[in-house]
Amino acid sequence: MGVEGGMKCVKYLLFIFNFIFWICGLALVVLGIVVQVSLHNTYKINDPSASGAPIILIGVGLVIFFISFFGCCGAFKENYCMVTTFAVLLSLIIIIEIAAAIVGYVFRNKLSTIVQDSVTDMMNNYNKSKSEFKEAVDKLQQSMKCCGANSSADWKGIIPDGKSVPDSCCVNVTKGCGTGAMYDSAKVFQEGCTAAVEAALKTNILWVIVAAIVIAVLQLLGIVFACILMKGIRSGYEVM
């Protein structure tokens, strides 16, 4: 005997919510991958602590992706065991997400130091390492409209003549535009890349927090609907 009346409505609501969970899980996986790739490929941040939050995002996203299976099947088939499993696992996910939020908060406090060290390391390897560092620095300075770690003067000692910067520091990039132009604000960006990268990462972290809050609210509603449906299914069994 299936659930009737209001319980049938709850059943379909839970099914819809689980479809949303499935999409959210997929979105978290994609978001985690994008953040991880940005940290390591775009910003060349290799500090292990920086990977904590994106890895947790990917893990939670995969778990949500598969947990939604229990919710969808349990709601559709009105299976008490599957709905209960869904509610328990979703509760555990919320606990993990709280842990991820704590990791994100700790990472936020270390962000400036990690970015500073990473940008400085990229600059130190600009002339003496693989071309990927040179390309990464040039791309970073052009896209962020910045120069050096803290200012254009950071290139002193890295560029041989002590008064030139890479052409990627120029407001209008042309071949040789950075030669002798270290302190020329009309030609070269004076702001360092540390502040620019930190601001960009903080903006991304803010969007992650907003997404996490929205998903957490949906998850709490999912648990409530699951508990209501569990009660309705059990009542049906008792009637039978």
| Exposed / middle / buried, residue 97 (Cβ in 10 Å: 0-12, 13-18, 19+) | buried
d(CA 145, CA 126): 18
Task: Band the pLDDT of 239: cuts 50, 70, 90.
Answer: very low
Structure tokens at 145: 């409209």
pLDDT for 130? 63
d(CA 55, CA 52): 5
CA 166 vs CA 49, 52, 145, 182, 187: distances in Å: 30, 33, 13, 9, 12
Name the pTM for this structure.
0.56
The answer, yes or no, to whether residue 203 has pLDDT greater than 50, is yes
Task: Band the pLDDT of 166: cuts 50, 70, 90.
Answer: very high
Q: Average of pLDDT values for 139-152?
A: 89
- 7-31 residue pLDDT tens: 677 777 777 877 777 787 787 777 7
d(CA 145, CA 96): 38
- 122-134 residue pLDDT tens: 788 787 656 667 8
pLDDT for 60? 74
The answer, yes or no, to whether residue 104 has pLDDT greater than 80, is no
The answer, yes or no, to whether residue 155 has pLDDT greater than 60, is yes
| Exposed / middle / buried, residue 26 (Cβ in 10 Å: 0-12, 13-18, 19+) | middle
The domain ranges of the chain are 6-110+198-239
Handedness of CA 45, 50, 55, 57 (dihedral sign): negative
pLDDT for 5? 54
Q: Which residue has the tokens 């300075």?
A: 141
Higher-scoring residue by pLDDT: 156, 112: 156
DSSP state of 155: G
Higher-scoring residue by pLDDT: 109, 169: 169
- Of 128, 127, 143, nearest in space to 43 by CA: 143
Task: Band the pLDDT of 109: cuts 50, 70, 90.
Answer: low
